[in-house]
Structure 1
């Protein structure tokens, strides 16, 4: 399917930025359309959520375009509040939300994806890890309303992701661990105390000149904050195993910054759940449908290291 800029997105652009210099397609997801707007005010973006995929024969997502628009806008505003608490992490300002056409408009976020540094031999990523871990601590402690409406809009997608990242990964896990793993999964599906980003991978974190930015909030849900932290740390674990360095160094860096931001005092029960989330997320990046992105650059020997590390972690921390 060839995507062209639809008339409603063009009209929204011209309403927000009179006489924009140029509109052009930008990279987006399967279930959203993104247009870059270059005008006298600079570079900005429109994102419109859709109910059908832009390419391929994909089934509908478990949440509607209007629900994802609500989630994206609400969690984006939450992220901006977190940045006010932790200014080392920037979030592009949200310019407008047009619910009639499921569209959000935002400023440009500057930098290159953290992903690029993690899949090469670059080790200069510790500052980004520290900053984002502290920023997460700030975000997870903030209230988010209207809670009931946002739960209804986000819970189906949460269940969809947990099935994909945890339940389907159980085929890779020793049978002796299944009962404890299924209990862990069921508990997380019921957990709704904290608003989490939901997709905090290294492609949604941009780094440039000591500035770290976080983007893309449409997969936000209510859960427990260490889900986000594990999602990010898993990529550092994969990098460190590939480079034959100790993944505990990056883990401890992130955990200490997160605990300090949340005043958790390194609570052991939360630590245990973080380690289980981390084991699942690391294994998921090896065997999930997006494995070519996250672990396609690894040799077979390195993939074995990732698998063995993940299973060993589950064996240690699942209780």
Structure 2
């Protein structure tokens, strides 16, 4: 069974041939760094039947498996078809909600093979590369916040509550364990900071406002370096929760980059939060402001202390600046710091 996306139908015969022969042994494919359960291959078709070849566009074939591929993490054992279906459906939903934003990472589901085919962004550059060099791209970042706001504006109770596929509590709890409980475990038993982080994670499990991306990091936002159009990928960790989790997830990296590079953090956060609140009128962020900033602090600490810290803070070689950012994050969590009113 094929769930067709118009731009991909013409490619199916070539993809089927590659899958049948085994993706790993196909000379036309280059394996790239993949996800926790997935093998990902980069493919540049020599010819797309009936279509003019678009320069600098690759396709990514993402094949799902039941056994995980990570030597660092032990993710929950969720059937590959469930993860693949969730990733496809939420990816399509995000793109459909944001057709006017020139989203470029289109997707196709070849269900028979547990395979997603994703059209790459032309002239691709991940957001993390811009943040590392101290570039804040206002336009794509504001559009990203607009797009995420639209996704979050769908009330969970109307579509996603009591739907096991979308609630995805196993992956939600895996991320909370990794980013909150494990982080807190390394702190002194009597630490108020430790208690605050644990309480934040416990409370999050009770909050079911809307559908989230769930892994909204700067490597999952790909920007066209020529025209600043962008694509968002990797929705398999989507779950029902509080929008502040997605916001803290991506804005923690923006916040860190601003502090490290000396960029006007208040102006940056104000502009991005405004773009978000304008597109999501069903959720009043001001009612969750203190809690949002606590999550922001935790996400910053995780990116500086967690097992994948090299992926997010590799450019922060100045130890004094790193130490300052860590202290700022702790003050956020403990509410001992005054903030600009970004909203």
TM-score range, shorter chain: 0.7 to 0.9
Runs of 5+ in structure 2 lacking a partner? 1-11, 20-25, 338-343
Q: 1:74 matched to which residue of 2?
A: 89
Aligned length: 304
Q: 1:305 matched to which residue of 2?
A: 324
Q: 2:219 matched to which residue of 1?
A: 203
On the 8 A contact 1:199/1:228 being kept in 2, the answer is yes
Residue 198 of structure 1 aligns to a residue whose secondary structure is coil
The answer on 1:278 being equivalent to 2:296 is: yes
The root-mean-square deviation of aligned C-alpha atoms, in Å, is: 3.0
Residue 61 of structure 2 aligns to a residue whose secondary structure is strand
On the 8 A contact 2:76/2:170 being kept in 1, the answer is no
How far does residue 291 in structure 1 lie from its aligned partner after superposition? 0.7
Question: Against the structure 1 CA distance between its residues 101 and 21, is the aligned structure 2 distance closer, same or farther, given a 3 Å change threshold?
Answer: closer
Q: Where does 1:46-125 land on structure 2 (aligned, <5 Å)?
A: 46-54=61-69, 56=71, 59=74, 61-84=76-99, 87-88=100-101, 90-98=103-111, 100-110=112-122, 111-123=124-136, 125=137
Q: 2:255 matched to which residue of 1?
A: 237
The answer on 1:163 being equivalent to 2:177 is: yes
* C-alpha distance in structure 1 between counterparts of 2:293 and 2:98, whole Å: 26
Question: Against the structure 1 CA distance between its residues 12 and 199, is the aligned structure 2 distance closer, same or farther, given a 3 Å change threshold?
Answer: farther
Residue 205 of structure 2 aligns to a residue whose secondary structure is helix
How far does residue 175 in structure 1 lie from its aligned partner after superposition? 1.2
Following TM superposition, the consecutive aligned residue runs of length 4 or more in structure 1 with deviations greater than 6 angstroms are none
Q: 1:6 matched to which residue of 2?
A: none
Q: Where does 1:186-265 land on structure 2 (aligned, <5 Å)?
A: 186-208=202-224, 209-263=227-281
Query: TM-score, length-normalised on structure 2?
Result: 0.79
How far does residue 97 in structure 1 lie from its aligned partner after superposition? 3.4
On the 8 A contact 1:95/1:106 being kept in 2, the answer is yes
Residue 36 of structure 1 aligns to a residue whose secondary structure is strand
How far does residue 305 in structure 1 lie from its aligned partner after superposition? 1.1
Query: TM-score, length-normalised on structure 1?
Result: 0.84
Q: 2:153 matched to which residue of 1?
A: 141
Question: Against the structure 1 CA distance between its residues 317 and 133, is the aligned structure 2 distance closer, same or farther, given a 3 Å change threshold?
Answer: farther
* C-alpha distance in structure 1 between counterparts of 2:211 and 2:277, whole Å: 17
On the 8 A contact 1:89/1:131 being kept in 2, the answer is no
Runs of 5+ in structure 1 lacking a partner? 1-9
How far does residue 292 in structure 1 lie from its aligned partner after superposition? 1.2
